[in-house]
């Protein structure tokens, strides 16, 4: 009798084979259930409370997936694809999770019947590649020769389509225009970090405004700031990383003195150092002084007497954006202050926004930058407005860089579904059924749009199939009329890159989950419960 060989530590759980694969698919289906109802213009929102009691209300797929704290490793794959879609394209995060879940759901019967996972993976990859090629073929290019007005109108339509499923969909025209304005203020590289979003509670949503430059909340000020001027035209701006206040002596410093006059000299020297710094700043010709470190009351009053404005403790991000927009340099010494190291802008002013004071720099000559100041009621509502706007801004950036669009509202998915179904009829073997199941899975997007709006999904899908069979390739769900409509003519447009990214990410995730056939869980790892009899670990 051969001796027993022990490979794994005692208490290690290992589950493998078909049961494990089905268990992983079930876990992914549970994740999809959590975000399914957030899709589309009539999607519902989720209220998520974290361990600290912080409340988040959102219908953004990536935000929900991050907040869910999913522990099931297979289901975490779906969290990762939602994050990748969010960082790469900015929108379509719910779609990508639903598609991945539906691909797995449609191939689950084949797994149960014993079809080898490798065959399924091969067919999925093929269907994914065919779909992406087909999108590239049918996408409508945005002609380069369009006038500025036409190009702008196209970008606004893309932004409005992205906003139509958000909490602020009633103001989608207002915010769509704002998102386009913000992106068009940037340079050719379209850096996201050059668009700042500031939230000020109070007022109506329509009170939100865009500053063509930098805006940030007024920092803490000492006595004397009331006397400072609040508006300058073409000011010189000094950006510093210097503390302009009398510092307390270091705890471990020791000075021995024999008489009072010497003590007075030490105090005078300290004041003199500060006054020398202030004097050099004044002589440089700067009108606005911003510093990352505190500016004390002596300095504040000194500047006020000389008709200068100052702000200390400016947040690092705001200072860097001011630097990029207004030029100059962030200095750690006052000896190098000259016209090269000072920035400038057309207008600087301090103004009241709601209950806060804001510093605005407009007409910046160097880099292009924009700041959106959002108004609104509850903090959670404003947080969701910010997330929605970021999605719209990302979509406008993508539409500018990849200038081809497809119709939204389930139109492109129905088009792909018909294309794959027709293709599968011409190939033999198991692959025919597998590609057919991908075609069926793609119908989940229009079906879910109907379900979320309370429509009869079967009836609308039948009509969509009929229209697509007749060659009407841009027909999708019309949410407003509970009907089917040509969504291209309705201007429900999305950049084709959103759909390409979503389908390729969903196919990759499905293939990854199908290629895992064994899970080994080490004891005391504090990790996930992965046993086959607990498929919903961490699902909700």
Strand partners, 289: 238, 310
Q: Catalytic one among 383, 391, 403, 519?
A: 391
Residue 391 falls in the annotated catalytic set: yes
The rounded distance, in Å, linking the Cα atoms of 388 and 390 is 5
Residue 93 falls in the annotated catalytic set: yes
| DSSP symbol at 222 | -
Q: Show Cβ contacts of residue 484 under 8 Å, excluding neighbours closer than 6 positions.
A: 460, 463, 464, 467, 475, 476, 477, 478
The rounded distance, in Å, linking the Cα atoms of 269 and 259 is 16
Cβ(130)–Cβ(419) under 8 Å?
Answer: yes
Strands (E), 169-222: 195-201, 209-211, 213-217
Q: 443 exposed, middle or buried (CB, 10 Å; 0-12, 13-18, 19+)? A: buried
Task: Answer positive or negative: Cα dihedral of 396, 398, 403, 404.
Answer: negative
Q: Catalytic one among 38, 56, 77, 93?
A: 93
Residue 63 falls in the annotated catalytic set: no
The rounded distance, in Å, linking the Cα atoms of 437 and 126 is 13
Q: Tally Cβ neighbours within 10 Å of residue 500.
A: 21
Q: Catalytic one among 38, 56, 60, 219?
A: 60
Residue 219 falls in the annotated catalytic set: no
Q: Show Cβ contacts of residue 413 under 8 Å, excluding neighbours closer than 6 positions.
A: 442, 443, 444, 445, 446
Q: Catalytic one among 56, 63, 77, 94?
A: 94
The rounded distance, in Å, linking the Cα atoms of 201 and 31 is 34
Calculate the dihedral angle through the C-alpha atoms of 489, 491, 495, 499, rounding to the nearest 10 degrees.
-70
Q: At what angle do helices 93-112 and 496-514 cross, to 10 degrees?
A: 40
Write out the H or E segment, with its range, that includes residue 423: helix 411-424
Write out the H or E segment, with its range, that includes residue 172: helix 172-184
The rounded distance, in Å, linking the Cα atoms of 540 and 538 is 6
Query: Which residues are catalytically annotated?
Result: 60, 93-94, 391
């Amino acid at each position: 009798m051969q001796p027993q060989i022990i490979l794994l530590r005692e208490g290690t759980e290992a589950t493998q084979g078909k049961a494990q694969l089905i268990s992983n698919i079930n876990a992914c289906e549970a994740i999809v259930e959590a975000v399914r109802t957030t899709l589309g213009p009539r999607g519902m929102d989720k209220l998520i409370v974290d361990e600290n009691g912080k409340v988040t209300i959102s219908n953004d797929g990536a935000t929900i997936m991050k907040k869910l704290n999913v522990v099931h490793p297979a289901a975490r794959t779906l969290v990762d694809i939602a994050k990748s879609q969010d960082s790469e394209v900015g929108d379509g995060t719910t779609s990508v999770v639903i598609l991945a879940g539906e691909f797995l759901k449609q191939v689950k019967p084949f797994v149960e019947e014993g079809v080898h996972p490798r065959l399924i993976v091969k067919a999925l990859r093929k269907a994914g590649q065919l779909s992406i090629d087909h999108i590239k073929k049918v996408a409508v290019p945005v002609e380069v020769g369009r006038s500025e007005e036409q190009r702008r109108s196209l970008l606004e339509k893309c932004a409005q389509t992205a906003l139509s499923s958000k909490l602020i969909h009633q103001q989608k025209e207002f915010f769509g225009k704002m998102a386009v304005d913000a992106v068009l203020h940037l340079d050719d590289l379209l850096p996201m970090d050059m668009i700042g979003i500031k939230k000020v509670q109070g007022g109506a949503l329509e009170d939100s405004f865009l500053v063509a430059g930098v805006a940030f909340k007024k920092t803490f000020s000492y006595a004397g700031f009331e006397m400072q001027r609040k508006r300058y035209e073409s000011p010189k701006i000094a950006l510093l990383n210097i503390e302009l206040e009398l510092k307390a002596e270091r705890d471990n410093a020791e000075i021995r003195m024999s008489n009072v006059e010497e003590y007075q000299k030490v105090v005078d020297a300290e004041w003199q150092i500060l006054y020398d710094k202030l004097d050099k700043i004044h002589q440089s010709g700067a009108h606005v002084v911003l510093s990352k470190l505190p500016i004390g009351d002596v300095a504040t009053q000194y500047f006020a007497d000389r008709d200068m404005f100052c702000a200390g403790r400016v947040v690092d991000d705001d200072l860097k954006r001011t630097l990029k927009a207004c030029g100059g340099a962030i200095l750690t010494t006052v000896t190098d202050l000259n016209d090269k190291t000072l920035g400038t802008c057309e207008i600087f002013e301090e103004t009241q926004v709601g209950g806060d004071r804001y510093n605005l720099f407009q007409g910046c000559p160097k880099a292009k930058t924009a700041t959106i100041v959002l108004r609104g009621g509850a903090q959670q509502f404003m947080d969701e407005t910010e997330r929605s706007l970021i999605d719209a801004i990302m979509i406008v950036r993508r539409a500018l860089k990849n200038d081809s669009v497809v119709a939204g509202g389930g139109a492109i998915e129905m088009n792909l579904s018909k294309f794959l179904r027709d293709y599968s009829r011409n190939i033999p073997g198991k692959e025919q059924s597998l590609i057919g199941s991908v075609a069926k899975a793609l119908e989940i997007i229009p079906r879910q749009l109907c379900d979320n709006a309370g429509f009869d999904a079967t009836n609308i899908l039948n009509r969509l199939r009929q229209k697509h069979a007749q060659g009407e390739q841009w027909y999708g769900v019309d949410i407003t009329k509970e009907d089917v409509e040509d969504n291209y003519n309705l201007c429900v447009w999305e950049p084709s890159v959103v759909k390409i990214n979503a389908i390729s990410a969903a196919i990759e995730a499905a293939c990854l989950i199908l290629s895992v056939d064994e899970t080994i869980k080490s004891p005391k790892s504090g990790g996930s419960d992965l046993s086959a009899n607990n498929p919903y670990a961490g699902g909700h």
